[in-house]
Chain A
């Protein structure tokens, strides 16, 4: 059967659907210009589990659970579930850690960078430029033989681990539901103020997350791949998907009065241009060395890729460090500790790129 979502119009339509959903999620309660942000949402989940204790960013985002389970469903339905693992997991873990730290210096993953742009936050331009430069550096390594090695086919149950963890988190959320005005419900933390307190109803978030997970798995939607393929192969296929996302979110924002152009006073954003640029450059480099943006890593985790799951676990650990060590930026700007971590991250990623090559 031909995969319609992997055609040119397929990927454009998937981008448009994601853009509209993201904009509507903001209308229905998610933070401004953050209808979907894979990095921010994974960070919020880390907080909900108490692995960091930044009180304003704690919520077990059902969208992320939906991404993995939707992809899992699509992969099973179309017989694409392929349990595989063993391509340098520790490297993927480290790349996940630093991708998260870079994203939290900017305050968003590539998805949110596009949504911020679509909402009129011009600081996102610096972030997107940084992202492109980081990915460009990644393509230089790819051209010179950078390669983490092949995965191996493995037991079916290995591929089930990450989707089962996500299902378990959903059960945890249903057993420990949010209590109005309470920062804690059983074992889970819930923000009572700040971005973590802003969210669409659980069922809405979950269903829309499942829809996106399903169509993104089938279409191979990837924000990093979009820019990488453009640079590396002059291919516009995936790029059309992110253009669709940005345009659809922009138009929807205009229609529902969510478009507020400017640099200053943008929601969950800062205007330190260089650090916006550098944060996303680090994230972009880490994504390209790992072969996928954070969203794509979630979708791959759903279709049985154990190494992508390790990358996501790295992002969770990175989010823990980012808030426990004060590395994440705030609307006041980047922190000195964050800048230090960013420099260390760039050095580590460059070392990975230089030393892990096929001769």
Chain B
């Protein structure tokens, strides 16, 4: 299952709020978060870890980043 959060263009704390909302919705699995600043990338990664999710991949994409986080069900 692939869930995508598009947080491009949003500045902190919006990307984190959007990520946490998605985490609360899906409970576990894989979520891909699109962000366009380094700050958002760092904040989303930090918040995901605090929620017990693992950051499995961070890739540059379209002038920004795609952060992949997962949690085993």
Task: Give the interface of A toward B (CB within 8 A).
Answer: 3, 6, 78, 80, 82, 84, 87, 142, 147, 149-153, 220, 225, 228-229, 232-235, 237, 291, 300, 305
Q: How far is the CA of A6 from the CA of B36 in the complex (A)?
A: 17
Out of B8, B10, B50, which one reaches A233, CB within 8 Å?
B50
Assess whether B4 is interfacial by the CB under 8 Å rule: no
Q: Determine whether the beta carbon of A151 is less than 8 Å from that of B11.
A: yes
Out of B14, B16, B63, which one reaches A153, CB within 8 Å?
B63
Q: Determine whether the beta carbon of A233 is less than 8 Å from that of B20.
A: yes
Q: How far is the CA of A3 from the CA of B10 in the complex (A)?
A: 21
- Closest residue of B by beta carbon distance from A232: B13
Main secondary structure of the interface of B (DSSP, over half): helix
Q: Determine whether the beta carbon of A152 is less than 8 Å from that of B14.
A: no
Q: Determine whether the beta carbon of A228 is less than 8 Å from that of B13.
A: yes
Report the number of A-B residue pairs with Cβ-Cβ less than 8 Å. 53
* Chain B 8-46 per-residue mask, 1 if CB under 8 angstroms from chain A, else 0: 111111101100100000000000000011110011001
List the A side residues contacting B46 at CB < 8 Å: 235, 237
Task: Give the interface of B toward A (CB within 8 A).
Answer: 8-14, 16-17, 20, 36-39, 42-43, 46-47, 50, 63
Q: Determine whether the beta carbon of B13 is less than 8 Å from that of A291.
A: yes
Asked, given contacts A3-B38, A80-B38, A153-B63, whether A233 binds B16 with beta carbons under 8 Å apart, the answer is: yes
- 12 further A-B contacts with Cβ under 8 Å, apart from A82-B63, A152-B9, A225-B12, are A84-B9, A142-B13, A142-B17, A149-B9, A151-B11, A153-B63, A229-B13, A233-B13, A233-B47, A234-B50, A291-B12, A305-B11
List the A side residues contacting B39 at CB < 8 Å: 220
Q: How far is the CA of A233 from the CA of B48 in the complex (A)?
A: 11
Q: How far is the CA of A152 from the CA of B13 in the complex (A)?
A: 17
List the B side residues contacting A233 at CB < 8 Å: 13, 16, 20, 47, 50
List the A side residues contacting B17 at CB < 8 Å: 142, 232
Q: Determine whether the beta carbon of A150 is less than 8 Å from that of B9.
A: yes
CB distance from B69 to the nearest CB of A (A): 15
- Closest residue of A by beta carbon distance from B14: A147
9 nearest CB pairs, A to B:
A150-B9, A151-B9, A80-B38, A6-B42, A220-B39, A291-B11, A150-B10, A82-B37, A233-B47
CB distance from A313 to the nearest CB of B (A): 18
- Closest residue of B by beta carbon distance from A152: B9
- Closest residue of A by beta carbon distance from B42: A6
- Closest residue of A by beta carbon distance from B17: A142
- Closest residue of A by beta carbon distance from B6: A150
Q: How far is the CA of A144 from the CA of B34 in the complex (A)?
A: 22
Q: How far is the CA of A116 from the CA of B39 in the complex (A)?
A: 29
List the B side residues contacting A78 at CB < 8 Å: 38
Q: How far is the CA of A237 from the CA of B44 in the complex (A)?
A: 13
List the A side residues contacting B37 at CB < 8 Å: 80, 82
CB distance from A154 to the nearest CB of B (A): 11
